[in-house]
């Protein structure tokens, strides 16, 4: 078996995997039928939902205007404001929120799936939340871990998790739990320097009630770690990767009962970071004042669902129209290009799931446009190929020459499209960014589809049965 057949088999395997990943429902229904018929335990194909934007899922769009009248570093203040609010909306449990700076003093917050607008506004404007978490006992941790597994299993089967008893346990951290001590007992946060290492530290001072709570907590946690969290995340970067995320947890070991109502936060942090944390804790507010949103828009889930259905049908009709055009005008090469186009769609949708790309109406529009651009490449190739055939060249050679001669035009046009996508993504709003991102990904995959997938299909089908299919060219 020659190399082209191995490549062809690899392409078909990729197509099947991408198709099932993009839309696993049919495969999983078949698995369920086999499991039911023969009492097998075949696993389902991996199910990962598409991430839908505000206009498709419904939710809340809020625009805030920051008061920068007394701020010297306006850019830094807006960046800090964005970071704090982004952490808070993530803590709120919003799926794929969008928080971005617009202009010099405006901040746009998009919260897909959020129904309670008042709660969202209150959450964004609240003061920083400082908490001290202690270890759970082994029995309690095991109970939560088992509940998490139970909920995950229900989600994989697309079942209603709210019907599971105590399903809320799955939302909790299985290893640590909050104590009674929070930031409301804090009176002052001060940056100090270690006398030995000269590294910056943050010294926390509590009021009388907070001092008693801290003494009780440290007494019952001697020789145990005590986690310190700010807005639901580690208060400092402990992993050394330059950002605070789920990989970080600041949890110093308690050596003895601490009296006096003071605590010290130490670690590998810069003086600037220590000052920023202390400033936020002392001010009890966001880095700059934002007040109430100047623009508030609510998109209902029914409107989002209707938009999604219309967008999907537009894509289906467009794809069918392209396939019909290709088969009518280019016959067998058009049919093979249509097969390559279907593979292209499956691969692109799979990438959208894997990245993941937040799909919006504009994003779906960019994807549909990329389908047309993928066909353009095939048309150029087929036109060149027919010229070679008219000159009397053998079919395998005509195919090779057609691709070689069409490649410069395909390359240049797609590079121009990618440059436009990059410019749109950098300098435009989030609505246009979705269009630019899906179009750019579509263009990149279309290059692979036209130059690689279409070519291998032509080489296997036409190259193998050249004389039998010549009349279909």
Q: Which residue has the tokens 């219309």?
A: 310
**What is the predicted pLDDT for the residue at 217?**
93
**What is the predicted pLDDT for the residue at 157?**
82
What b/e readout covers 311-340, taking b as 16+ CB neighbours within 10 angstroms? beeebeeebeebbeebbeebebbbbbbbbb
Task: Give the pLDDT band of residue 373 (cuts 50, 70, 90).
Answer: confident
The structure tokens listed for 197 are 């290492």
Mean pLDDT, the chain, rounded, equals: 83
Where do the domains of the chain lie, and which CATH numbers do they carry? 3-48+300-468 (1.20.1640.10), 59-127+291-299 (3.30.70.3400), 130-285 (3.30.1360.200)
**What is the predicted pLDDT for the residue at 348?**
94
The structure tokens listed for 264 are 């010290």
Of 438, 378, 458, 442, which is closest to residue 410 (Cα–Cα)?
378
pLDDT digit string, tens, across residues 55-74: 777 788 899 998 887 677 78
pLDDT digit string, tens, across residues 272-309: 888 878 876 765 546 677 878 888 888 776 555 676 67
In the predicted structure, residue 439 carries a pLDDT above the cut 90? yes
**What is the predicted pLDDT for the residue at 154?**
86
CB 348 within 8 A of CB 441: yes
User: Of 92-101, 147-156, 174-183, 245-254, which gets the smallest average pLDDT?
Assistant: 92-101
d(CA 384, CA 470): 16
**What is the predicted pLDDT for the residue at 213?**
93
**Cα distances (angstroms) measured from residue 42 to each of 34, 180, 214:** 8, 47, 53
Task: Give the pLDDT band of residue 464 (cuts 50, 70, 90).
Answer: low
**Rounded mean pLDDT, 19-30:** 87
pLDDT digit string, tens, across residues 331-367: 888 888 899 999 999 999 999 998 888 888 888 889 9
Q: Is pTM, for the whole model, over 0.85?
A: no
First to last CA, the chain: 26
pLDDT digit string, tens, across residues 379-432: 888 888 888 888 888 777 888 888 888 889 898 999 999 999 999 988 876 678
Task: Give the pLDDT band of residue 466 (cuts 50, 70, 90).
Answer: low
Of 201, 193, 189, which is closest to residue 265 (Cα–Cα)?
201
In the predicted structure, residue 120 carries a pLDDT above the cut 80? no
In the predicted structure, residue 159 carries a pLDDT above the cut 70? yes
**What is the predicted pLDDT for the residue at 392?**
81
88 contact partners, CB below 8 Å, separation of at least 6: 123, 124, 126, 231
**What is the predicted pLDDT for the residue at 183?**
76
Helix (H, G, I), strand (E, B) or coil at 179: strand
**What is the predicted pLDDT for the residue at 438?**
92
**What is the predicted pLDDT for the residue at 283?**
54
In the predicted structure, residue 253 carries a pLDDT above the cut 60? yes
Helix (H, G, I), strand (E, B) or coil at 376: helix
**What is the predicted pLDDT for the residue at 214?**
92
């Amino acid at each position: 078996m020659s190399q082209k057949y191995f490549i062809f088999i690899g392409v078909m395997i990729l197509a099947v995997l991408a198709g099932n990943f993009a839309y696993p429902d049919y495969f999983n229904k078949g698995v369920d039928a086999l499991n039911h018929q023969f009492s097998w335990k075949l696993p389902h194909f991996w199910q990962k939902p598409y991430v839908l934007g505000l206009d498709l899922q419904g939710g809340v769009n809020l625009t805030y205007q920051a008061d920068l009248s007394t701020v010297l570093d306006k850019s830094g203040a807006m960046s800090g404001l964005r970071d704090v609010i982004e952490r808070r909306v993530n803590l709120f449990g919003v799926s794929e929120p969008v928080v971005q700076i617009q202009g010099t003093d405006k901040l746009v917050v998009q919260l897909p799936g959020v129904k309670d607008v008042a709660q969202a506004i209150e959450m964004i404007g609240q003061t920083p939340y400082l908490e001290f978490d202690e270890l759970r006992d082994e029995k309690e941790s095991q109970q939560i871990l088992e509940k998490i597994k139970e909920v995950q299993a229900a989600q994989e089967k697309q079942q209603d998790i709210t019907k599971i008893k105590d399903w809320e346990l799955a939302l909790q951290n299985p290893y640590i739990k909050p104590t009674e001590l929070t930031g409301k007992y804090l009176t002052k946060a001060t940056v100090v320097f270690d006398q030995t290492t000269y590294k910056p530290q943050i010294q926390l001072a509590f009021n009388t009630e907070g001092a008693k709570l801290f003494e009780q907590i440290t007494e019952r946690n001697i020789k145990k770690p005590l986690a310190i969290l700010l807005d639901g995340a580690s208060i400092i970067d402990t992993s050394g990767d330059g950002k605070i995320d789920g990989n970080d947890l600041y949890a110093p070991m308690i050596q003895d009962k601490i009296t006096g109502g003071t605590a010290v936060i130490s670690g590998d942090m810069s003086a600037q970071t220590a000052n920023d944390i202390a400033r936020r804790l002392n001010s009890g507010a966001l880095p700059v004042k934002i007040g109430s949103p100047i623009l508030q828009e609510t998109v209902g889930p029914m409107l989002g669902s209707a938009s999604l259905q219309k967008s999907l049908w537009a894509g289906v009709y467009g794809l069918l129209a392209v396939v019909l055009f290709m088969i009518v005008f280019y016959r067998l090469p058009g049919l093979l290009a249509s097969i390559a186009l279907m593979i292209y769609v499956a691969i692109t949708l799979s990438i959208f799931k894997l990245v993941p790309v937040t799909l919006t109406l504009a994003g779906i529009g960019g994807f549909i446009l990329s389908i047309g651009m993928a066909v353009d490449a095939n048309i150029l190739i087929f036109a060149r190929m027919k010229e070679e055939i008219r000159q009397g060249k053998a079919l395998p050679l005509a195919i090779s020459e057609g691709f070689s001669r069409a490649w410069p035009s395909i390359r240049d046009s797609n590079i121009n499209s990618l440059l436009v996508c990059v410019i749109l993504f950098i300098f435009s709003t989030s609505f246009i960014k979705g269009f630019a991102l899906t179009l750019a990904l579509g263009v990149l995959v279309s290059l692979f589809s036209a130059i690689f997938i279409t070519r291998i299909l032509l080489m296997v089908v036409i190259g193998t049965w050249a004389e039998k299919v010549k009349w279909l060219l």
